[in-house]
Amino acid sequence: MQDTADGGERGRVSQLRRRLGRADLRAVPETRRALRELLRHWGRPGQSETAELLTSELVTNALVHTDQDAYLTATVGPDCLRVEVRDFVAGRPQPRRPDTGDATHGRGLALVQSLADAWGVRPHATGKAVWFELGAEMA
C-alpha cells in the first residue's frame, strides 16, 4: 500500500491518495485511519465517522468485487469532501437490497446512497471510479 498526503491549513485543499493492493482487506482499517487524520479539523462533529464508513464501503467493494488493484483519492476542501475509489473492472455497481440471511452483503452502496450528499460512478477507459461527496456543514 502506498500513501500520499498533501496537508493544508484550514480552508485549503488537502488530499490523500492511496494505492490499494489487490484483495488486501487490511487496507480498509488502514484507509479509515488515514482518512480520520486527514479530516481531523474538517466539518461538524460526527462527519469523520460518516466519511470513514462510506470510504470503507467503497474500498471494500473495490477489493472484494475485483481481482485488481484500486486507487483511493480523498480531497478535502473548505466546503466539501470528495472520496473516489477507482478500479480496473468494467461495469457499473448497482445498489441492491441487503441479503436477508447475511448481514454483511448488499449494504455498501445503499449506505453510500442514503448518507452521502452526492455519489456516482464515472467510467474510465479501463474500469470505473465510484465516488461520494459530503458537505462540510452536513446536518
Q: pLDDT for 119-139, tens place per residue?
A: 999 999 999 999 999 997 754
Q: For the whole model, what pTM was predicted? A: 0.83
- The pLDDT-based confidence of 53 (bands split at 50, 70, 90) is very high
Show the cell assigned to 50. 460518516
Contact assessment for residue 62 and residue 108, using Cβ atoms and an 8 Å cutoff: no
Question: Mean pLDDT over all residues of the chain?
Answer: 85
- The Cα-based distances of 55 to 46, 59, 72, 100 in angstroms read 14, 6, 9, 23
